[in-house]
Amino acid sequence: MAVERKARAKINLALHVTGRRADGYHLLDSIVAFAETGDRILVAPAAKLTLTVTGPMAAGLTAGPDNLVLRAARALGQGRGAAITLDKHLPVASGIGGGSADAAATLLALGDLWGCALPEPAAVLALGADVPVCLAGHAARMQGIGEIITPLTLPEAHLVLVNPGFGLATADVFRALIRRDNPAIEMTKVPLPDAAALADWLSRLRNDLQAPAERLAPGIATVIAALEAQRGCLLARMSGSGATCFGLFATAETAAAAATALARPGWWVRAAALAG
């Protein structure tokens, strides 16, 4: 009896850094959504806990005990066994929550396999700031250090995701941040009617990590400029701490055409629907 779960890419449509706690954790205010592309988690009964990593992005990961998938399994399992397969399709350290989405999918899959409840919220948050919202699995406003999640309804829209072929360490990007007490997100009336209205609202917001990431890796600005040049692109921005960027489009056709036009050696490019 195997159980499979999708681990969809997490997209920060906007990300404001609003403060820093005494313990060093940054306070965030983010509009988070998901793309209909990502990794897969497959779990099956076994006497002990094991992890196998497959897929086109498997080379970027090890199956050692520090892998977030195994950490999530241990947080839930309390000694239970399972054979876990991570089919890796998202770039590693790319700002689209691949590791967090994998951990959340692992918790959900193993909860079904073992017939047990999910761990306490504090244990989930300890796995990473993005794990709670990935576990919720729907568009949301995420605040605090990731523990405050308010569901949102977003209109139909499409994305083109572009990673320039390199990763960025989140800690390095935060260290390069000049201001850490930025204004919070100004919410709009929801639900928004269409992708154009979504883009208009998002254009008044920002990703506070984009400027420091561009200073560390100027190639990010190149990706954003290439996305902005595509017909039908309503907004282009970096997700999370980078280096993956997204373009927002109204239709699947314009997104697919842009993805085709953006294909080049070394770039990871995907068109996908924006999921709620």
Residues 204 and 122 in one domain: no
Containing structural domain, residue 211: 153-275
- Inform me whether the pLDDT recorded for 276 exceeds 70: no
Q: How far is it, in rounded angstroms, from Cα 40 to Cα 118?
A: 19
As for how many domains the chain has, the answer is: 2
Where is the domain boundary, 97, 113, 144? 144
CA-to-CA distance for 148 and 28, rounded, in angstroms? Answer: 10
* Residue 75 near residue 38 (C-beta atoms within 8 A): no
Residues 44 and 132 in one domain: yes
pLDDT, tens digit (0-9, with 9 covering 90-100), for 144-158: 999 999 999 999 999
Q: Which residue(s) pair with 12 in the sheet?
A: 32
Looking at the structure, tell me whether residues 180 and 270 fall in a common domain: yes
Which of 89, 116, 144 is a domain's end point? 144
Residues 42, 170, single domain; the answer is no
Condensed to tens digits (0 to 9), the pLDDT of residues 12-46 reads 999 999 999 999 999 999 999 999 999 999 999 99
Q: Are residues 33 and 137 in the same domain?
A: yes
The pLDDT tens digits of the residues spanning 185-195 come to 999 988 899 99
Q: 248, 223, 233: which is closest to 168 by C-alpha?
A: 223
Q: Answer yes or no: do 228 and 197 share one domain.
A: yes
Is 6 among the residues known to form the active site? no
Last residue of a domain, one of 96, 118, 144: 144
Is residue 130 flagged as an active site residue? yes
DSSP letter for each residue of 41-89: EEEEE-SSEEEEEESTTGGG---STTSHHHHHHHHHHTT--EEEEEE--
pLDDT in tens, 72-88: 999 998 889 999 999 99
Given 6, 10, 88, 194, the catalytic residue: 10
CATH code of the domain containing 168: 3.30.70.890
Contacts of 35 (CB under 8 A, 6+ apart): 8, 9, 11, 96, 159, 161, 246, 270, 272, 273, 274, 275
pTM of the model: 0.96
Q: Choosing from 39, 87, 102, 130, which is the catalytic residue?
A: 130
